[in-house]
Structure 1
Amino acid sequence: MEYRKLGRTGLSVSAIGLGTEYLNGRPQDEVVAVVHEAIDRSVNYFDVLFAGADYRDNLGAAFAGRRDRVLITGHIGCAETDGQYRKTRDIAECEELFADLLARLHTDHVDVLMIQFCDEEEDLRAIMAPGGMLELARRLRGEGKARAIGLSGHSVPVALQAVQSGAFDVLMFPVNIPSHGEPGREELYETCLRRNVGLVAMKPFAGGELLQRKEAPTVTPVQCLAYTLSRLGLATTVPGVKSLDELRAALAYLEACTEEKDFTPLLTALNRGTEGHCTYCNHCLPCPASIDIGETQRLLDSAGYGLTDELRAAYRALPAPAGDCLECGNCEERCPFHVAIIERLREAAHLFAS
């Protein structure tokens, strides 16, 4: 494993970390097995996102007895409503959920305290204003409950403002092949490097969308990680996995040869930008109709390569069908990639009803 400095934090992080988003809802024994194998394979950077009790308890069990071998990023600004993700800027709620995170992970601190999902200038101003999220993060750091402060987001202009402010030690940002060449990205990476802000890449597989491709050129996890880790100033990337097989497919990068890492044929074929393309992140939630929008979109994309009985069964198992959409538009307002969610839900409802 290669280790890199995480900006000015003083932390040395594994080039390949682990995003735990897709371990949400998995049985505890599977979560423990994935985390333990990752640690045994020298992964030391773990991103802990959600607020759900079972999710946090499972990770607490996985980190038990191994806390001194891992660096944990914990998020504030992430809550739940009826089991669905919800963004929050309520200071009291964030502090309460952070205390819950420490308790369930059986630790007295996180290594990076990440203010979650900031894509609007107005939100950034509110975060940095007196009494805002940044003030809370600084207080928690002063109390010894965090070692560094970060910000996550998807907007190049807003992220650039945040980095230039000097207020954040770490930036968590999507870095993947489809985003190659997007305006402002190289300036953002260079500014992180110049200002010694640790750059953490999320969504190296574009939420898994890239790995679903069936037509040429097909894409491997190794190629995706090779691209992401080649970006200027990048410290670590946090691929999300939900099983040991997916973890091993990602860690195959460590033994891959130069030819297996070659991503250059993909730059032309997949250089389409991220605008309008769902990465199944569910930042669009909560949905008043209880639709799991991210999973519905994933199944719709998978069905584009052929509608199978397995996909039909997975769709039937969703908490609500796409046809229940109220077309309220809240999801489209929240989506960081400006996906036409309502239209795609109509497509899913029609396709899976056929």
Structure 2
Amino acid sequence: MMQYRKLPHGDEQIGVLGMGSSAIGQAGEKEIEATVALALENGVNYFDMASADAAPFAAYGNAVASAGMRQKVYFQIHFGAEYSTGKYGWTLDLDTIKRSVDWQLTRLKTDYIDFGFIHCIDEAEDYAKARAAGTIDYLLDLKRQGVVRHIGMSSHTPAVADQVLDTGILDMLMFSINPAYDYQKGEYGLGEVDQRMALYRRCEAQGVGISVMKAFAAGQLLDAQRSPFGLALTRYQCLQYALDRPGVLTVLPGVRDRRDLQALLGFFDAPAGERDYSVLGGVAPKAAEGVCTYCNHCQPCPMGLDVGLINKYYDLARMGDELAKEHYRTLEKHASDCVACGHCDGRCPFHVHQMQRMQQIAAWFGE
């Protein structure tokens, strides 16, 4: 049922559907434990611990310990989120961060951190302060000790994410991905359309996994009255959209209870039509037109080309990803096998001229 993707900078196999903890605190300890137990039973193994309050931590720790699953579970713990008041708070103070991390580990009943995240760095100034305060050095030291297995960062800002990617310290990036933000709609729709896609491609090329937050744009995309597109998408369309972005390993929707989780797990049994987000082609901005999103709505190709994958490997290879070049060369069908029948051009919701692009790709690979 669950599908897994490998962390490029490690051996971890991460479930494509994880669990966010921002909304579960109000469910009560028993329901939180039951929800985590249900998640574990269904192969969910990645949990983000940026919660709205302190309630989930002990419940998560109890559920995972009771199931004897600690070695198979990955916690994403944020260095900068703190819960001394019982509610979520954000801090750049290193001493406060250390106390908060110790508090979280105690309640989660663990002595190591799978993914230690520099928390909520949306401004270049925030990263500079975190570095000056010693948070980055502290994380690196914990990684050397083996207490932290991987280092990540959460952000909503492509330019800041690029700045930290330049340092080479990241194994994972938590980023807000959904069609509204990618098309510059909403509070966190930061960065140009092509800048956001370039960030996702860069992460994949550098082997930095992406864990996705705000896949539903805080629920706005699920409500036609609040959606910036004037139409409602389903949870499954949003999940598929995020999972189709380059570099994405897992999507972490906020779960309120078992009912929420059970509905999300239905994604794996849903037919392709229920996950198809090609309706976005009619509302995409001009900046998004002509850009392949690897959605494969153009399939099936009469000649058997995997058009989305060919485009993806080409885009990554042009960024210097040598592995993408090798993956392309091992494909059964290549861009040079295109016979320019026009089937894909006619079906592409984003108006990509795939026949022309296949010629470009074949020339680039020297076919």
Structure-2-length-normalised TM-score: 0.69
Corresponding position: 1:31 with 2:35: no
Q: Distance in 1 between matches of 2:260 and 2:235?
A: 9
Tell me which amino acid in the other structure corresponds to 1:66: M
Residue in 1 that maps onto 2:69: 66
Higher deviation after alignment, 45-54 or 31-40: 45-54
Residue in 1 that maps onto 2:255: 241
Q: Report how far residue 35 of structure 1 moved.
A: 0.9
Deviation sequence 1:27-74 (CA, Å, 0-9, x none): 111111111111111111111113854331121122122212211111
Residue in 2 that maps onto 1:346: none
Higher deviation after alignment, 81-90 or 61-70: 81-90
Q: Report how far residue 82 of structure 1 moved.
A: 4.1
Residue in 2 that maps onto 1:189: 200
Quick check: 1:109–1:145 contact (8 Å CA) kept in 2? yes
Higher deviation after alignment, 3-12 or 45-54: 45-54
Task: Decide which of 178, 181, 185 is 1:179's aligned counterpart.
Answer: 181
Q: Report how far residue 144 of structure 1 moved.
A: 2.3
Q: Aligned pair in 2 of structure 1 residues 53, 227: CA closer, same or farther (>3 Å)?
A: closer
Quick check: 1:179–1:271 contact (8 Å CA) kept in 2? no
Q: Aligned pair in 2 of structure 1 residues 210, 272: CA closer, same or farther (>3 Å)?
A: farther
Tell me which amino acid in the other structure corresponds to 1:232: P
Q: Report how far residue 173 of structure 1 moved.
A: 0.2
Residue in 2 that maps onto 1:14: 15
Q: Report how far residue 266 of structure 1 moved.
A: 3.3
Residue in 2 that maps onto 1:101: 104
Corresponding position: 1:224 with 2:238: yes
Higher deviation after alignment, 176-185 or 246-255: 176-185
Q: Report how far residue 192 of structure 1 moved.
A: 0.6
Task: Decide which of 132, 135, 152 is 1:133's aligned counterpart.
Answer: 135
Quick check: 1:13–1:45 contact (8 Å CA) kept in 2? yes
Residue in 1 that maps onto 2:94: 91
Q: Report how far residue 98 of structure 1 moved.
A: 0.6
Tell me which amino acid in the other structure corresponds to 1:16: L
Tell me which amino acid in the other structure corresponds to 2:198: E
Q: Report how far residue 80 of structure 1 moved.
A: 3.8
Structure with more contact order per residue of length (Cα contacts < 8 Å, sep ≥ 6): 1
Quick check: 1:222–1:249 contact (8 Å CA) kept in 2? no
Deviation sequence 1:220-266 (CA, Å, 0-9, x none): 11111010001112111111110222112211110111111111113
Q: Distance in 1 between matches of 2:82 and 2:29?
A: 21
- Aligned partner of residue 113 in structure 1, secondary structure: strand
Q: Report how far residue 209 of structure 1 moved.
A: 2.1
Tell me which amino acid in the other structure corresponds to 2:159: P
Q: Aligned pair in 2 of structure 1 residues 27, 237: CA closer, same or farther (>3 Å)?
A: same
The aligned runs of 1:139-150 (5 Å cut-off) are: 139-150=141-152
Q: Aligned pair in 2 of structure 1 residues 228, 208: CA closer, same or farther (>3 Å)?
A: same
Q: Aligned pair in 2 of structure 1 residues 124, 241: CA closer, same or farther (>3 Å)?
A: same
Deviation sequence 1:131-152 (CA, Å, 0-9, x none): 5211111122223221001000
- Aligned partner of residue 122 in structure 2, secondary structure: coil
Q: Report how far residue 214 of structure 1 moved.
A: 5.5
Q: Aligned pair in 2 of structure 1 residues 128, 56: CA closer, same or farther (>3 Å)?
A: same
Residue in 2 that maps onto 1:277: none
Tell me which amino acid in the other structure corresponds to 2:110: T
Larger Rg: 2
Quick check: 1:217–1:269 contact (8 Å CA) kept in 2? no
Q: Which runs of 5+ in 2 are unaligned?
A: 185-191, 288-367
- Aligned partner of residue 33 in structure 1, secondary structure: helix
Tell me which amino acid in the other structure corresponds to 2:137: E
The aligned runs of 1:318-329 (5 Å cut-off) are: none
Task: Decide which of 152, 162, 167 is 1:160's aligned counterpart.
Answer: 162
- Aligned partner of residue 128 in structure 2, secondary structure: helix
Tell me which amino acid in the other structure corresponds to 1:43: V
Q: Report how far residue 271 of structure 1 moved.
A: 6.5
Tell me which amino acid in the other structure corresponds to 2:258: L
Deviation sequence 1:171-222 (CA, Å, 0-9, x none): 1000112123451111101111111111111111112222233697332111
Structure-1-length-normalised TM-score: 0.72
- Aligned partner of residue 9 in structure 2, secondary structure: helix
Q: Distance in 1 between matches of 2:273 and 2:259?
A: 22
